[in-house]
Structures are given as structure tokens and as C-alpha cells.
A and B are shown apart, each in its own frame.
Chain A
Amino acid sequence: MTYLYAGAILWIDLTTGTTSIRSTLDYAEKFIGGRGINARIMYDTIGPDTDPLGPDNVIVFGTGPLSGTAYPGCSRADVMSKSPVTGLLGDANIGGDWAAELKYAGYDHVVLTGRSEHPVYLRIRNDLVELRDAGELWGQTTYETRRLIQEELDDPEAKVLSIGPAGENLVSFATIHGSVGNAAARTGMGAVLGSKNVKALVVRGTKGIAVADPEAFLEACKAAHDQVKGADYYEEVHTIGVTNAEYAYVLSGIEAGGDGHEGLDFDPEGKTDYNAFWNKHGYKRTGCMGCPVHCMENYNVPGVGATVISCELYTQLTWEVQNADMLLWYALIRQCQEMGIDNTSMALTIQWLMELHALGIIDANLTDGIAMEWGSKEAITAIMDRTIANEGFGAVLARGMKATAEYFDARVPEERRGGRSTYWYAMQVNNNPMYGINPRLTSMSLSYAIGRRSDCIQDLDMHQFDSVTAPVYPGWSEEDRAHAVEHERELAYELTGKERAGDPDTTEGKADIVHDMGIQTGIADMAGSCKWHTKWLFLYLMPEHYADALSAGLGRTVTPEDVEQASLRVRNVERAIEVKMGRRRENDTIPEKEFSKPVSRGHMKGKHGLSREDLERMKDEYYTLRGWDLRTGVPRHQTLVDCGLKDIADDLAELGLGLEPFELDGGGTVWSAGEEEPVPSAHQRPRPGT
């Protein structure tokens, strides 16, 4: 009897149409599930020579042992492949209703290899697995695809993941869309599916997930539900999602920072007040399977239609591109969802174009005759349409920021671009357009630099986040705001034992916080549940909650240390994959132009900022916590051996990696001349073997 897991990993070779089943339990103890098992499969199947859009790329969809159970937020699937955006490890996480259904159908993971000769969609119904013709579906929006497939199969309960036209057109940052409002958006997973001629993955299941001790499991799940619902922040996020938070982000300059927004308050009338938009057009709250939070907003706007919006989407096609027309913003979001293109990448790319235009580096001749003026509706809509279609100048943009920069550099004389590549102006990490979150804040920059898919989101320092936005948090009293700042500083100190860990103007303690957050979110990702329920969104599910539920469900003891160690282990697998693809310490960075500049807007204007040395110091500390070599950023041989990854350790050793002695010549660290050695934080559990 298999408990919690379905027990099966479904492998499908699209070239030959053959399927096979492997056992999840071969991986479960070490990698738990979800992102963890995905990572191990990725290590074994993709490498530096894999073409992200070629048949040799592999894409894996993974649920976790808690997906589809009574555990809160048990709705997540992790999607991994080689990214056409970064050329490194691509990863995206999606909620909604698909992950649970895959478990009910009897599978934990689906692995797609090869390439289908003509458009197909994968259809799973319990033991039935087939590739069906998707000729009629090709070209349809994600919304229509879902409806048409449910009609074709005469099954309104079928759950669908699909790409839109952007993925079909191989736009590098295309998305995979699930139930409305849910997407595996970042790093171009939609383009990978498009390159394999796969339009959709459809699943329906009526089998159950067995539980070893139903009573104890219900108790453990209830404890987790109670924790989430009892958290201070629950009341707000449960009633208005993160609309307040997002508005605070832009008001504070933590989002839409950067030189293009220098000193700018482009919306003095508050037209972009997200709460006002929700009050006016909000239809109902919605959320994912098994989630007590329902953090998302279902809107219905006359003349435009209905869609679901949450989180970052509020700030990007508004403030990032200086558009205050909320109806335009709304229509664009809906278009992104229907067409299957990443809102973040699109918005930050358009921002870059607008900034280059404002600086006089590019003109309309280079962008299909469209003047990239800040906030120009014509520019935004034209660029969106053409990029989705992979046509005109959009065909350049579709290949990503680096390719676009090369295109510009070949056509813009050096003097006009300040002697620099236009890439220098791009807000990207390893070619992944950054979220709007400002890298000029200490721990934010570290989160970006070491981000495992080259963005910050996994490893955010929410203490810093909250303490810089709280002073302008809409709807909060002055007292509440002051209390929030103080509270976050206390929590940061508690976690790290370092007094100034909560202070944005120092690097002290930031590595500890970012390292810890990576562990916590990793646990949720492996379990198949939502990382927002961890400290990431102040709801504070801790390793104990996961361990208790897993123990009761699996009928064997899983400790909090087990899940933490698994999270550390998985991160090392991911790092090893990227290291083999060429990632090193120097790739763990933020755009050079962001250093030694203060925040340019909002109540923090003129404040904060960090130097290159600051980032490098934090990286020294972070690598030390991780057990990665300080010069190269490669996991040390012993680190990998100690966390049970000897085969990976030996692979890297064969490439001459990870074997450098720990002590550096002359002592000290790589970047700090004469300062003290980075010290492992007080709270850190001792790494095995050290």
C-alpha cells in the first residue's frame, strides 16, 4: 500500500509515443517529491549540451506527497526543464486544480521527452494514457483550449494545463496556463512544450490518495490550517489578497525602482490604487485546491471580460511601464493569460525599451516605427501583440533580452549607447527579466544573485520587505506601521542572532535570512503545497507542520530535520545542474548599473543602496552556509557527499569541480580585504561532517 504518494512517475517519449512507469518511491526518501524529485530527474536527463527547444530537452511536471490531501494549499505542481530564457535550469510552480487531479489519477510526476511530429495533447484518465490530436486546438487561447477539451472529452471535470499561441510560436518566455489565474509562468516552460508540439496536459482521476493514519493525518492538517488562519496576516490576505501589499510596494519604491523612475511619482491622483480597482470590478475571491487563503481576485470588467489576478501582476504593466490606465492594464493581463505569455518578462522588457528610448539610445526605427515612450498605450499593445505572434520586432524580443541587445548593438553606434552594450541597461539576471522588486536593497540583491532560477522570488527576505514597505502600507495606522517594522527587526534578530539583521543598511545577517527562506520554501515545493503558507507570506507553516503531516500520512517518522535536510539536498542538486551548465560565482549577480545607487523613488528615495563589495560579502557568507566553494560558487565535494549526493560529487570531481581546498591563500575572503572571515550564523544547524 502506497501512502500519500500515487507511487508512479509517468514517462512519455513523444517521438515514439511510448509510455512507461517508474516508481516514485525510488526517489521519495531523499527528495520528498515535487521540485525535489523533479530536480533529481533533471540532473539525470539534461546537461550543458541540451537544446532547450530541441527534442533532447526533458520537461517534468511534479506533484508532492501532500498534493491533493487535506493539508492547506495542497495544490501545487512544479515544472522543470532547461530554460530557453536563461540556458540554465528553468523552473515554474503552478497552483489551481491540476496537481491534485494528477494524484487522483494515480501519478506523482509526468516526464515528457522527445518531440511529437504533429500537435498533440496528453490525456490521462486514471490508467488510460493517450496522446490525442491537437490540430483543432492549435492556435486557441488557453481559456478556449480548456473549454474545447472538456467538450471533446465530454468531461467538465477534466483539469487542463495548456499553452497559448505564445508557446506555440516558441516565444522564449511563454507560459503554461492552468485553471484561470494560475500559470507556470517564468523561465519559458511554455516554449518548451511548444517546441515538443504539446498543446495541453489533461488529467482526470477518481482514485484516492491513501493515508496511513487518517485520524492523525486529519489532526496534523487541522493544526496546519489553524496556524495559517490564526496568523496575523491571514485576515488581510484572505479578504483582499495582496492588493494592499502590492500598492505599498510601488509607493515605497521597492517595486518600479530603477533609473527610469528616478524621483518619479507618475500617478499623483492614485488611479492605480489596486484596492479601488478591486472594489469597483471585483467579482469574487478565488483560490487553489485545498487552500484556506484564496489570495486571488476574480474580476469581471464590462466590455473586456473576466480573469483572475494576484500579486506582482498589479505593479508590472502599470508602474513598471508608467501606465496609469487601469482598464488597459486589465486587458493586457487578460491577454497575457489567454495567449500564454509571461507578464513579468513582457513588462520588464517593455520597461527596458522605454528606458533606452528615453535615454536616446534607440529610436522608433529600431522598434518597427513605434516610439517607445513611457506609458504609451500604442507602444505597449503593439509590442505585446508582435511578441506573442513572434513577428516583426517582436521576433527579436521573443528571443529574450540578450538577443535583443545584440540586435540593438549591431545597429546603434557605440557613442550613442555610452560606450556600453544596450544589455548593460537591462534589468536581468542570467537573461531572466527581473521582477520589479528593487535590487538596491541589500538582501533583495542577494536573493536575485543566488536565485535558483535567476530571480529573487524563492529566497526573499520578508523581514526587509515588510520593514521597508510598512511605513506606507495603505489602510494601516501609524501605530501598526511602526509596530510592523519593529516586529520584523525582532524576528530577523531572533532568526540570526545578529542585531542588525533587520536593518536594510547593512549586510549583516542577510545571508542567514535568505538561506533560511530558501530552506522553508523548498520544503513547501517538495511537499506539493504552497510556499505562501510558510514565513514567505507571514503565515508561518514551519518544518514541524510538514513533518507531522508527512509522518501521519506516510506511517513512518519524518522529522523537521529530515525535511530541512532534503531541502538543502535538493538545492545542491539544482546548483550542480547549473554548475555543469557553466554557472559560477560571477553569474550570481545583479546588473552592474544597480550598485552604489540609492533607491530612486518613494519614501526611501535617496536611501539604502549597496556596493559591489556588499553583495560579494553576502555571497561569501551565503556560500559558506551552503558549503559552496567561495571562489567558484560550486558545491564542495564534501558538501555533496555529506548530504547523500556522492554520485553528483564524483561527477563534478571528474570535471575538476568542487575539489578546491577550503582555506584560501592568505586567509580572509575573496572580496573583503582584511575583514573578518564569514562566520556561520548562530542558528544554523551544524552541517554533517563539519
Chain B
Amino acid sequence: MHVYSVITVDVEKCTGCRTCEIVCSLKNYGECNPSRARISIVRDERDGLISTIPVVCQQCAEPLCLDLCPAQAISRDPQTNAVVVDEEKCIGCRTCVQVCPYGAPFVDPRTGTSQKCDLCGGDPTCVKWCPNDALHFVPADEEGLRRRRTGATKYLELLQTQGEQR
């Protein structure tokens, strides 16, 4: 069975530098323009406390965008498993934008079509450029294991701290 890969986000490591946004737009459109990036950093600094959360298409197993697209413009790439838009067929109706729980796709006024992450054909640019190790491109069945290891490590640290305090 061919195991495809997915982009995972380590939110704690993201510093909000937006390098991912810049290189995504540069690769796809030849210009530096975060508002046209298919990965997006949602940043807040209320009262001085900074949070930066990367939002990227989750390439859902049951994508609402694909199911509900009235023009059947969205399909699954058999190689990468990415959910991709056929810009020839897209009518720019924004159904995909409205139904996505993450707000991942957007309709670019310049093209009039839906723009979403297509994993750069299987070699995502943002992952290669993230300077802070917040993005990874991992086989889909490994993702769960990595999370468990991260979680277990944190639990272990907590136990050790408590142990020291005693």
C-alpha cells in the first residue's frame, strides 16, 4: 500500500516568522505575497502574549470542499493524496472557502479561482524552509506515533520536575 505523506504542524515551535508564507507565494506565483500563500500564520499578541498558529490544508480523508464543489473542480491526486483544484473547471463560487473547517482554501481575486495547498506535488516548499522545525512532512501513519512520543516526553519531563521538587 502506498503511504502518502502529510504536513504536520508543531505549534509550539512556530515563532510566526512567516517564512513559509513568503516562500509558498514565491514558488507558486513568483512573487512574495503572504496574502496569496496556501499556508497561513494566524498571529495574536493581545496584551503582549504572542500566539502564532500555522493553518494549512489538512488534506482531509473526506474533504468537504471536494464533496460539495458544484463544478467538480476538486479531486484527489493519486500520487500525493493531496486535494487539488483544477483551475480550468473552478468557477470561483467560494463554496470550498465556506465549508472548510480550517479556512484553508481562498479564492484569489487575481485568478478568480480557488487556491489551496497541493503539497507542491509531493515536496512541500514550506516544510523545507521553516527555520524553526515547526513543519514536517511525514508519512500519514507515522504522524500518530510522533504525537505520542512528544506527549510521552512531556509527561516524563513533568514527572521528573515533580520528582526533583520532592
Residues on A lying within 8 angstroms of B by beta carbon are: 68-70, 72, 97, 100, 104, 143, 146-147, 156, 179-180, 205-211, 214, 217-218, 222, 225, 229, 283-292, 294, 298, 300, 305-308, 334, 337
Contact = CB atoms under 8 A, between A and B. Distances in A.
Contact of B32 (A72, A180, A209, A225): A209
B114 interface: no
A284 B131 contact: no
Given A210-B30, A284-B15, A143 B25 contact: no
B131 A69 contact: no
A254 to B, nearest CB: 29
Interface string B8-19: 000010011111
Contacts of A334: 48
B99 to A, nearest CB: 22
Contacts of A179: 45
A180 B48 contact: yes
Question: Which of B27, B29, B131 is packed against the most chain A CB atoms within 10 Å?
Answer: B131
A69 B19 contact: no
A147 B35 contact: no
A573 B124 CA distance: 45
Contacts of B132: 292, 294
A298 B35 CA distance: 26
Given A180-B45, A218-B27, A225-B129, A208 B36 contact: yes
A180 B46 CA distance: 9
16 contacts: A70-B23, A70-B26, A100-B34, A180-B50, A207-B33, A208-B29, A209-B32, A210-B31, A211-B30, A211-B32, A214-B31, A225-B131, A287-B15, A292-B131, A294-B17, A305-B48
B19 A300 contact: no
A218 B23 contact: yes
A210 B52 CA distance: 26
Interface of B: 12, 15-19, 22-23, 25-27, 29-36, 43-50, 52, 129, 131-132
Given A143-B47, A180-B48, A306-B48, A291 B31 contact: no
Contact of A284 (B43, B48, B50): B50
Contact of A289 (B18, B44, B45, B46): B18
A147 B45 CA distance: 9
Contacts of A308: 48, 50
A206 to B, nearest CB: 4
A424 B32 CA distance: 52
B126 to A, nearest CB: 11
Nearest to B15: A294
Question: Which of B17, B19, B27, B129 is packed against the most chain A CB atoms within 10 Å?
Answer: B17
A244 to B, nearest CB: 19
Contacts of A289: 17-18
Nearest to B30: A214
Contact of A288 (B17, B36, B49): B17
B17 A290 contact: yes
B31 A209 contact: yes
A209 B52 CA distance: 23
Question: Which of A70, A146, A147, A285 is packed against the most chain B CB atoms within 10 Å?
Answer: A70
A225 B131 CA distance: 8
Nearest to A209: B32
A308 B47 CA distance: 11
A285 B33 contact: no
Contact of B18 (A206, A290, A300, A307): A290
A110 to B, nearest CB: 20
A292 B25 contact: no
A72 B35 CA distance: 19
Given A286-B15, A289-B17, A209 B30 contact: no
Contacts of B18: 100, 289-290
A214 B125 CA distance: 13
B22 A69 contact: yes
B26 A218 contact: yes
A463 to B, nearest CB: 27
A211 B17 CA distance: 20
Contacts of A300: 49
A185 to B, nearest CB: 17
Contacts of B36: 206, 208
Given A180-B50, A211-B32, 20 more contacts: A69-B22, A70-B32, A97-B43, A104-B33, A206-B36, A207-B33, A208-B29, A209-B32, A209-B33, A211-B26, A214-B30, A218-B26, A225-B129, A225-B131, A284-B12, A284-B50, A288-B17, A290-B19, A294-B17, A306-B47
